[in-house]
Structures are given as structure tokens and as C-alpha cells.
Amino acid sequence: MVKKNGFVPVGKIVGAHGLKGNIKVYSYAESLSVFKPGSFILLINPKGFEKSYKIKWVKPHGRLALLALEGVETRNSVETLVGAVFFIKRAHLPELEDGSYYWLDIIGISVFTIHDEYLGVVESIIPTGSNDVFVVRDPNRVHDNETLIPALGSVILKVDLNLKTMRVDLPEGL
């Protein structure tokens, strides 16, 4: 994925909707509030081309979002943008409650048990509806190098974003 300093990815263009330049977006965010009408959003395509657009409107569309950008008025213009990623300034992300974290902050941190056993690094996160599940991998282990850890307060004891570590108390059987 394309990275940009000071910015975070919030969604990806997956297609056009209709003939008038409406855009189908797979949102990386739980809330569409990151796509605020009237605000500017940075769009970067896989080849590195980047441009800011003003958001005209946004609405949910099943598991996707539909939105319109000023200057993108036709289906053909949308189709040239498919695969591009939307970015916003990290400072514009909504504040989180204590004990809540953005996935982008969790992915890549090292995970240890309460007995200081290194389990690996959070590689991805699976949303399950009731709670997320962290996929932790240790490439140095030949067998059984993946641990699935439920994101529950009883399991995740401490997250230190400065040290990029997580301390867990695994239930029996994990």
C-alpha cells in the first residue's frame, strides 16, 4: 500500500456507481465521518500520482460507501481512479476513548504474554462483529507460528504505543 508521512489511508476506490461520477469506496474506517462533505481529501493512485479533492457528499452503500468529489463528474473519470487510496491527515482522525486504538497503530507491534514469552508481531486484524481478533505471527517459529488473540479487555492487558508492545494473558488453549 502507498504510504505518505503524516497521512493515514481511510479508503480505496473500488468502482464507479452510475453515470454521473459517483464513486464506490471500500472504507477502512468504522465511521464515514472521515469523509466529511466540504473537506479536502488526498487521493494517491498506485503509480504515485496524488491530488486533493473536495468531498461533495458521502453515504453508506451496503458494505461500501458512495461519495462524490468536485471535479469528478463522469463514470469514465471515476474508472481512471479505481485502485487509488484516500488519505487524510492523522490529526483529523476522531479522538478515541481510553483503551481504544486505531488498527494502524496496533498492526506491527510486538506481543508478549504475562510470562514474557514473545508471541510475534500483530500482522493483521480480523473484524468478527463481537470483537476483533489480532493475527500475531512469529516468522522465527517453524511450526505453529500464528496466534489468534481476541481483542478483549480480559486478554489484552496493556498496549504501549510508544514502545510498540502489547502484553496479553492468553486463555487456556491459545
CB-CB neighbours of 152 under 10 Å: 14
pLDDT for position 4: 61
Q: Closest Cα partner for 78 from 53, 108, 106, 111?
A: 53
pLDDT for position 1: 45
**What's the CATH code of the domain at 140?**
2.30.30.240
Residues of the chain with pLDDT under 50: 1-2
Per DSSP bridges, beta strands 40-44 and 22-27 are unpaired
- Cell (9 digits) for 120: 510475534
Domain count, the chain: 2
Inside any domain, residue 107 = yes
- Cell (9 digits) for 116: 514474557
**What's the CATH code of the domain at 78?**
2.40.30.60
Inside any domain, residue 75 = yes
Inside any domain, residue 173 = no
**In this structure, which amino acid lies at residue 135?**
V
Expressed as residue numbers, the domain containing 137 is 103-168
Verify that 15 and 88 share a domain, yes or no.
Answer: yes
Please write the tens of the pLDDT for every residue from 94-107: 888 888 888 888 99
d(CA 75, CA 23): 8
